[in-house]
Amino acid sequence: MTSPATPDAGTAPDSPPDSPPGARPGTPPGSAIRPAPWVRTRLSAAPLTALLAAALAFVTVLLSAALPRAMDRGADQGLRSFLHDRGASATSVLVTSPAQDGPQSPEGLDTALAALLARTGPGYGIAPSGPVYGARGVKPRSLDNAELARPEKVSPILHLMHVHGAEEHVRLVEGRWPGGGTPDGPVPVALPQQTAQTLGAKVGTVLRSSSGTSDATSAEVVGLYAAHDEADAFWTDLPCPTHACQRYTRARLPEMYWEAAALVGPDALGRLGAWGGKAEEFWRLPVDTDVLRADRLAAVGHQIAAYAAGQTATDLAQATGRPRLQISSGLPALFTQARAREAAAAPLAAIGPAGVAGVAVVVFCLAGALTGDRRETELRLLHARGGSRRGILLRLLGEGAVTVPAAALATALAVLLLPTPRWTATLLAASAAALFALLAFPVRAAVVLSARRGPRPRRRLAGELLVLVATAAAVFEVRLRGVAPAGEGVDPLLVAAPLLLALCGGLVLARLVPALVGALAWLAGRRSGLIGFLGLARAARGTGGRRRPSVLPVVALLLAITTGGFGAAVLATVDSARTEVARVNVGGDAQVTAPYGEILPESFLEAAAALPGVRLSVPVWTDDDAFVFGTDQGSTKVRVVVADPVTYAQLARAVGWGEFDPALLAPGAAGTPVPALFSRDFARLAGSGPHELRLDNAGALPVKGAGVVEGTPALPGVGGSFLVLPAGPATAAVAQTTHPTRWFALGSPDKAALDELVRAVPRSPTFAGWAVHTGADESARLARDPLGRSAARLFWASVAGAGGLALLAVLLTMVRAAPERAALLARLRTMGLRPRQGMALILTEALPQALAAALGGALVAAAAVALLGPAVDLSALVGSHAHTGVRPALWPVLAQALILAGLVAAAVLIEAAVTGRRQITTELRAGDQR
């Protein structure tokens, strides 16, 4: 009797997908012989393998889904913080209109507000604090009361305004709320309590004014109020609503006076025009910045622009009955700046996640290769017994379906832990990772079941040359054009270039390391001892009969170290750039500025110079309202800095802003012009001279140009026209330059100590505004930018993820070689190998590749910094304009490599300790069957 024909190996078995290949197609459902389901049998036979596959899928999908959401959250937080720092006025829609003719009432303001709110949105909404609206007189009036405070004999001025809902933001301290006045009597007003104390007014005071019109106008103080919170956004854009403000006249010698405001009741709306020349209605609509999203800024900006100057604005003028309605907002311009900041930071933030993705792909390839090696005999046997490639691969996909629930759970966890309204990037990244986890082993199985081919070195060489050419092209293009312009999002070349460099480094190491380790093995073989020779010899070749080690673990380590080292160098450069920017902004490491009209006493200067940590003390006198005659324009307004040339030159050299040779400011003979440093802007206007500087009415000072500087520490961030003069008898003769108005220091002075000194300075009670700034505080302020903090957090999370996956790649390589290594150790154990020597053999085998990868990764990271660093603009991460690219930094790069190399060594020891003894024991019991 002939046996049944064997199914053709090239056709798929006719058995259902959940039955093993070779099952009879016509088996009835109730048959006593029923084949076990394939997938269930495989999963129950190897539960640990299925669990590890699910765990790998869970971790990689979680990282893949979490990183885009973290980037989205960082972009949103950076946007909202940027807008919040601009203030309520800049983030509002401001609407004004001349007051309507005829009777005016609060109902008319409410009706117009309803029409304005009806056309807002849909991409933006009004902040929960609500609109602020009312009416005010356009101009203030000067008060003639003799009893009012006049610090420098200048009368105070008073605004009158009505603000809807102001009663909810204040408490009435004395008197009553204004209202019920007679048309011919004084206007009833409520005055801020602080303003009343400053001016010397009280309840019942009649504030008289005769300026602006021929008829005298007066206002009676009927109540005093105190604001619940003077910093409340409700008071934004209102003139001095909670206290009196210092102002200065524009005369040649400025004089200080008080500016104040008072609130009127709704029945006095019609009288605001008489007080202020004319009345103006206003509505401030604060946009809710807490719900704005970075990905919708362009659309929201267009909507707000249309509201302010498009068809919507025209419709609103008709709907409110106010043809001269004016609408403005600074939000579209702020949105443009915010998008530029995000686009500038996006390429740097994407480098870390790209490195994680590269390492994850390598890990999936190694996991597929490990499983393929373990099951190669089984797969070939199934194929030889009639199973088709398609049928086998479908069943392997069924086995891999265990990763789908793990991927779904990881995605759900990422969504739960990192809430953000955007889903597209999350789903794409999670799907890609899940697809890799599902297909890694089936693809490897397809390769195993393919026809065997001999080695093709030319194909490998061609592939390596292709990678090398692509890397050179990417680096050259980035160096040639720089990072993609702002607004274009992530620059793929800048993101791919470090990864390509790491891949090139891995390919180079794959060529060099076997030869170098082989040479070391030859040297070790000439000496006594077997452990070194055997370990190095095994490290120089691959496992399973391969001629060389696998390149994938080296690539994984190089990707992790390169991206980590490059990112660490970026963050180190950002920190140093913030310190430099802070020094420029402050003018040194510390600055104390006296308010306008006051000086720094000698006692303060001596005490400040003696503070611990102060290395250099530089007192400076400045004048912001000087004139130089004899220029091409006849006269030019300039700012003047007078300081000791030697110490001020040291300050400028340390700050790196406005450096000069102090010899340039050496005074000449008596009667000769005083040497001065000209700013570049003023040098273009100065002409040939002679020049005469007038600081005040005390006289004129002849000056001559001694040099040109870009800027100067005493005027941080200030361009325009300025002069730097030497302190001495010549300048002191025409101004009080011997009494400094600013103090600068280098070193590390304590901010609290400086504040204490400033509080102890005797001063006039009418003056305020002493300012103390330190470089440390300014650097901390720059570091608080959420955009930079988000990029740093994302980078460190990516470094941790890439490092963990790289360690997993090394462990997978160790596990892949474990059976062959266990057989070798079992044989050596029978010949007297001690356990400690076995551990040394494992380390000698595993560490050369890991150490070479760590060293190569550090070199590649340094090369990436050197090649790509000059093209990177770090301004978005610094928080201010920075002129420098990424600087080479040895320690951040080396630290990444050393940490990862140490973790690899620890992982190898743990793997050998946990699995080595059990595998050796199994080999000794079962014997060598290979």
Tens digit of each residue's pLDDT (9 = 90 or more) over 65-79: 998 898 888 888 888
pLDDT grade, residue 136 (50/70/90)?
Answer: very high
pLDDT at residue number 164: 93
Label residue 525 by pLDDT band (50, 70, 90): confident
**The pLDDT of residue 782 is above 50:** yes
The burial of 699, by beta-carbon neighbours within 10 Å (0-12 exposed, 13-18 middle, 19 or more buried), is given as exposed
More confident residue, 441 or 486: 441
Measure the CA–CA gap between 299 and 113, rounded to whole angstroms. Answer: 24
Rounded CA gap, 205 and 395, in Å? 95
Range name among 314-318, 333-337, 900-904 with the lowest pLDDT average? 900-904
Query: What pLDDT, in 10s, does the model give residues 332-351?
Result: 999 988 888 887 777 777 88
> Are residues 702 and 667 in contact, defined by beta-carbon separation less than 8 angstroms?
no
**Which range, of 184-198, 201-215, 564-578, 592-606, averages the lowest pLDDT?**
201-215
d(CA 483, CA 351): 13
Determine the average pLDDT of the residues in 121-148: 90
Using only C-alpha atoms, the chain has a radius of gyration, in whole angstroms, of: 39
pLDDT at residue 353 greater than cutoff 50: yes
pLDDT reported for residue 11: 40
Q: Is pLDDT of 605 > 70?
A: yes
Q: What are phi and psi of 634, to 5 degrees?
A: 95, -65
pLDDT at residue 919, rounded to an integer: 55
Q: Of 799, 820, 819, whose CA–CA distance to 900 is shortest?
A: 799
Confidence of residue 456 (pLDDT cuts 50, 70, 90): low
pLDDT at 544: 54
Read off the pLDDT of each residue in 838-858 and give the average, rounded to a whole number. 80
How many Cα atoms within 13 Å fall on the side-chain side of residue 534?
Answer: 17
Q: Stretch 608-631: mean pLDDT, rounded?
A: 89
> 808 pLDDT band (50/70/90 cuts)?
confident
In this predicted structure, what is the pLDDT of residue 699? 67
Q: In this model, does residue 520 exceed pLDDT 90?
A: no
pLDDT classification of 506: cutoffs 50, 70, 90: confident
pLDDT of residue 18 exceeding 50, the answer is no
| Percent with pLDDT over 70 in the chain | 88
pLDDT of residue 614: 92
**What per-residue confidence (pLDDT) applies to 591?**
93
Q: What is the mean pLDDT of residues 32-50?
A: 70
The pLDDT of residue 344 is 75
pLDDT at 126: 92
Greater confidence, 350 or 300?
A: 300
Residue 414 has what pLDDT?
Answer: 92
User: For the chain, first and last CA: distance in Å?
Assistant: 38
The region of weakest confidence among 48-62, 377-391, 546-560, 697-711 is 546-560
Place of tokens 């068809």: 311
Confidence class of residue 617 from pLDDT cuts 50, 70 and 90?
very high
Q: At what angle do helices 552-586 and 331-374 cross, to 10 degrees?
A: 160
Residue 550 buriedness (CB in 10 A; 0-12 / 13-18 / 19+): buried
Is the pLDDT assigned to residue 81 strictly greater than 60?
Answer: yes
pLDDT at 918 over 60: no
Calpha distance 64→353 (Å, rounded): 8
Mean pLDDT across the stretch 108-112? 91
Is the peptide bond preceding residue 749 cis, with omega within 30 degrees of 0? no
Instruction: Determine the pLDDT at residue 327.
Output: 92
- DSSP letter, residue 263: E
Looking at 79-93, 155-169, 384-398, which range is the least confident one?
384-398
List, in order, residues 6 or more apart from 529 with CB less than 8 Å away: none
Lowest pLDDT segment from 362-366, 500-504, 895-899, 923-927 = 923-927
Q: What is the largest CA-CA distance in the chain?
A: 133
Residue 731 predicted with pLDDT over 50: yes
3-state secondary structure of 696: strand
Which amino acid type is present at position 47?
A: P
Instruction: Determine the pLDDT at residue 6.
Output: 37
Helix (H, G, I), strand (E, B) or coil at 1: coil
User: Is residue 688 pLDDT above 50, yes or no?
Assistant: yes
Would you say residue 252 has pLDDT above 60? no
Summary mean pLDDT of the chain = 82
Cβ(200)–Cβ(206) under 8 Å?
no
Give the predicted TM-score (pTM) of the model: 0.77
For the stretch 359-405, pLDDT in tens is 888 888 888 888 887 888 888 888 888 878 888 888 888 888 888 99
Q: Does residue 12 register a pLDDT over 80?
A: no
| Residue 794 β-bridge partners | none
> In terms of DSSP H, where are the helices of 587-679?
602-609, 645-655
Task: Please say if the pLDDT value at position 13 is more than 50.
Answer: no
Judged against a pLDDT cut of 80, whether residue 826 lies above it is answered with no
Res 883: pLDDT? 67
154 pLDDT higher than 70: yes
Cβ–Cβ < 8 Å for 329, 304: yes
Mean pLDDT in residue range 859-877: 82
Buried b vs exposed e over 220-248: b needs ≥16 C-beta within 10 Å?
A: bbbbbbebeeeeebbbbebebbbbbbbee
pLDDT-derived band at 453 (thresholds 50, 70, 90) equals low
- pLDDT confidence of residue 171: 93
Mean pLDDT of 506-523: 83
Q: What percent of the chain has pLDDT over 90?
A: 23
- Provide the pLDDT for residue 32: 47
Q: What is the pLDDT of residue 929?
A: 47
pLDDT higher than 70, residue 545: no
Measure the CA–CA gap between 788 and 639, rounded to whole angstroms. Answer: 35
Contact at 8 Å (CB) between 841 and 543?
no
- What pLDDT sits at residue 735? 67
Tens digits of residue pLDDT in 757-781: 888 877 654 445 688 999 889 888 8
